[in-house]
Amino acid sequence: DDDVPFTYDCSTAEKKSQENKGEDGQPVEKGSDTILASAFSKSGSYFALTDDSKRLILFRTKPWQCLSVRTVVRRCTALTFTASEEKLLVADKSGDVYSFSVSDPQGCGKLELGHLSMLLDVAVSPDDRYVLTADRDEKIRVSWAAAPHSIESFCLGHAEFVSRILVVPDHPELLLSSSGDRTLRLWEYRSGRELHCCPLTSLREPAEPWGDKRSAASRIAYWGQESCVALLCDSIPVVYIFQLDARRQQLAYRQQLAFQHRVWDVAFEEGQGLWVLQDCREAPLVLCRPVDGRWQAVPENTALKKVSAHLQGNWAMLEGVAGVDAGFSGLYKATFDNVAAYLRKKEERLQKRRQNPPPGPNGQAKKMKPEEASLRCS
């Protein structure tokens, strides 16, 4: 709590990125400083982010220091540290996962595995034995970390792209996943067995303005203290709270927390509760805790005031995020129903034939026999 807030300008990374050259020595396509993905290591000693300019920036947090700026082949969608904090796994839009060394901050990336479709999230098991990847084609793949070409299992069941996955920290055999099909699912991922499915559509009220809106989860957070799961969906100012019953292998819906402003992110902190970051400069942070079995916002305390003041002082960094889609709207499967149009055009052609029958061999209109006419009409 006594640490001085750290601010890093991504534009300064340009001087450290080897003149913005890729691993092949070719110039990297220059984009913006928009952060696409970020992650802390398990101990909190390291932090990494990747931006729209294909830069992978690694920090040490104790004290805060930029260790390296490396380039990636393609724009990234997700990243995570291994449990040992020796590697950083980066998933990109082409479906590949690259690993980057943490101990060797200047080392080049190594291709670990690939999918045939865009990857949306990547995770590792707590023992670093498995790499879990979620893609646009509704699949969750479980691969061996030591030999990523060896696939342990697939978790199949989602009807749309899989947006987020999370290995439950205190139950390392369980996996949570969310999808564009508006479900939260629980898996035993080594066998690929689905244990429980919670449809979010059944939890929404008909009067809610977003009741019929398609949405995918942008964040899954877990709190081991109460075995609680918080689910945040993009573009919806609601956080869903579930409770995990690991013994019965089920998820129980508890409540939903509604907010006046768009919610950007959520995170649990042991001993504190649920932090909610929202699009409101006057009150950017809300801290929620369970009171008599119900989650509710707590009055401002010292920690909340301190972090809120820092966010307000750097609000310009967050401006422009409001109203921007989380990136899932263009990932839904497009359906085309052209059968009705085909049948309509076919009937129009038949009607024209009946009105203007084709000419016979002598140039006269061919007369149909009564039985042929009856057959065509039928």
HEC readout, 85-136: CCEEEEEECCCEEEEEECCCCCCCCEEEEECCCCEEEEEECCCCCEEEEEEC
SS3 of 301, please? Answer: coil
Q: Beginning with the edge strand found earlier in the chain, give each strand of the sheet holding 130-135 in spatial order.
A: 119-124, 130-135, 140-144, 151-155
* Dist CA 65 CA 67 (whole Å): 6
| Run of H or E residues at 313 | helix 302-313
CA–CA separation, 221 vs 229, rounded Å?
6
Predicted confidence band at 360 (pLDDT cuts at 50, 70, 90)? Answer: low
DSSP type of residue 207: T
Whether the pLDDT of residue 375 is over 60: the answer is no
**pLDDT (0 to 100) of residue 119:** 96
Measured between alpha carbons, how far is 164 from 180 in angstroms, rounded to an integer?
10
- Tell me how far apart the alpha carbons of residues 142 and 351 are, in angstroms, rounded to a whole number: 57
The CA-CA-CA angle for residues 98, 326, 190, to 5°, reads 50
- Length of the chain as a residue count: 378
- What's the CA gap between 241 and 295, in Å, rounded? 9
Tokens matching residue 294: 């119900």
Determine what percent of the chain is predicted with pLDDT higher than 70: 80
Tokens linked to 202: 């059944």
pLDDT of residue 115: 95
User: What digits encode the pLDDT tens for the residues 222-248?
Assistant: 999 899 999 998 868 899 999 999 999
pLDDT band, residue 271 (cuts 50/70/90): confident
Is residue 130's pLDDT more than 70? Answer: yes
Write down the pLDDT at residue 318.
74
Q: 72: how many CB neighbours lie within 10 A of its CB? A: 23
* Mean of per-residue pLDDT scores for the chain: 85
Supply the pLDDT for residue 54.
94
What helix, strand, coil percent values describe the chain, rounded to 5?
Answer: 15, 40, 45
Residues in a beta bridge with 331? none
pLDDT for the residue 322: 47
Q: How confident is the model at residue 25 (pLDDT cuts 50, 70, 90)?
A: low
- Element housing 222 (H / E): strand 217-223
Report how far residue 55's alpha carbon sits from residue 148's, in angstroms, rounded to the nearest whole number: 24
Q: Which of 126-135, 191-200, 302-311, 355-364 has the lowest mean pLDDT?
A: 355-364
Query: What is the predicted pLDDT for the residue at 129?
Result: 97
pLDDT at 221 over 90: yes
Confidence of residue 329 (pLDDT cuts 50, 70, 90): confident
Q: From CA 146, how far away is CA 161, in angstroms rounded?
A: 27
- Window from 88-92, 171-175, 201-205, 247-251 with minimum mean pLDDT: 201-205
pLDDT of residue 55: 95
Q: Which residue did the predictor score with more confidence, 61 or 324?
A: 61
- Whether 244 and 253 have beta carbons less than 8 Å apart is answered as no
Whole-number pLDDT of residue 205? 59
The SS3 of residue 350 is helix
Q: Please state the rounded mean pLDDT for residues 296-311.
A: 88
Q: Work out the pLDDT band at 116, boundaries 50, 70, 90.
A: very high
Reported in sequence order, the residue ranges of 259-347 that DSSP labels E, i.e. its strands, are 263-269, 273-278, 285-291, 294-297
pLDDT at 183: 93
At residue 325, the pLDDT reads 47
> What percent of the chain is modeled with pLDDT above 90?
57
Rounded Cα gap, residues 122 and 329, in angstroms: 20
